[in-house]
Copies of this chain bind each other. A is one copy, B any other.
């Protein structure tokens, strides 16, 4: 066990694929490490420290900024498969031959593409608040939530992660407190980079005949985690993932939106531990 935590672990850098990747690595040595892929407009500093430190009790946790994001160099590529190619290069550059991959929101889309492109690299997948290629976005409130203004602006993340009710707001405020404890932070995602990420989302959501067939290629055990009322990527997409992946367990938490795992961190950690250790 390194003595570092989410708040104290220093940022390191590694070069791969022509990109200088910023990353942080901490937690219990020995087990297969888990690599975390963050959401739209997110950097290493958008993760909930309760989740990362919780995971780190049992395994090494690796946070990183993908190409063009935060403290990493390069440009955000136009598609999730290309983001996955960068992520794979990053993981291999660390000398890692087998990893668990966790992805939240568009990070979950990148995680799926990592498994498609590098099946040998991936032991298990944890997909939170995400969907397949060709996701069903009819009931998504994403456009409204990201277009609105917030006072303070940081409260965008309460709207994006949590339900607009008392429990959601309370969980959101606690999350923001935890998130801002760390002082040495990655730069926020630029508007330019966010625009490219957004275009990748639109492209990924295109619905074509057999768009979900690729899920049959992901033969690893997958844990799919959803909030009951995901306002960003609707909950039904988690059910679609479970039904089309060959080996997926789905957990849907009550009274929660996109970041169900930030609303029920202890329960999520217990479920993730059962899945990752099982």
Interface SS of chain A: helix, strand, loop or mixed? Answer: mixed
Q: Is B247 a contact of A252 with CB atoms below 8 Å?
A: no
Q: Is B271 a contact of A267 with CB atoms below 8 Å?
A: no
Closest to A251 in B: B251
Copies in the complex: 2
Name which of A239, A246, A250 has the most chain B CB atoms within 10 A of its CB: A250
Contact with B along A200-243 (1 / 0, CB 8 A): 00000000000000000000010000001000000110010011
B247, B267, B274: the one within 8 Å of A270 (CB): B274
Shortest Cβ distance from residue A11 to the other chain B in the assembled complex, whole angstroms: 35
A6 to B73, CA, bound (A): 62
**0 or 1 for each of A249-264: is its CB under 8 Å from B? (1 = yes):** 1111111000000000
Please name all residues of chain B whose beta carbon is closer than 8 Å to the beta carbon of A158 when the two chains form the complex. none
Cα A133 to Cα B277 with chains together (Å)? 37
Is A250 touching B251 in the complex (CB atoms < 8 A)? yes
Tell me if A126 is interfacial: C-beta within 8 Å of chain B.
no
- Bound-state CA distance A253–B245 (Å) is 12
A254 contacts B243, CB within 8 Å?
A: no
A276: min CB distance to chain B, Å: 13
CB contacts (< 8 Å) of A239 on chain B: these are 236, 239, 252
In the complex, which range does the number of interface residues on chain A fall in? 20 to 34
**Closest beta carbon of chain B to A126's beta carbon, Å:** 14
B252, B253, B278: which contacts A267 (Cβ < 8 A)? Answer: B278
- A271→B250 CA distance, assembly (Å): 12
Contact of A274 among B221, B250, B254, B267 (CB under 8 A): B267
What residues of chain B lie closer than 8 Å to A243, measured between beta carbons? Answer: 228, 235
Contact assessment for A253 and B249 in the assembled complex, using a CB-CB cutoff below 8 Å: yes
Inter-chain CA distance A239–B221, complex, in Å, is 21
Asked whether A248 is an interface residue with its Cβ less than 8 Å from the other chain, the reply is yes
The chain B residue sitting closest to A239, CB to CB, is B239
Inter-chain contacts of A249 with B (CB < 8 A): 251-254
Query: Could you list 8 further interchain pairs (A-B, Cβ under 8 angstroms) beyond the known A245-B254, A248-B254, A251-B252?
Result: A228-B242, A228-B243, A236-B239, A239-B239, A246-B254, A250-B250, A251-B251, A267-B278
Residues of A at the B interface (CB closer than 8 Å) are 221, 228, 235-236, 239, 242-243, 245-255, 267, 270-271, 274, 278
Q: List 28 A-B contacts (CB under 8 A).
A: A221-B254, A228-B242, A228-B243, A228-B248, A235-B243, A236-B239, A239-B252, A242-B252, A242-B254, A245-B254, A246-B254, A246-B255, A247-B254, A247-B255, A248-B254, A249-B251, A249-B252, A249-B253, A249-B254, A250-B250, A250-B251, A250-B252, A251-B251, A251-B252, A267-B278, A270-B274, A271-B271, A271-B274
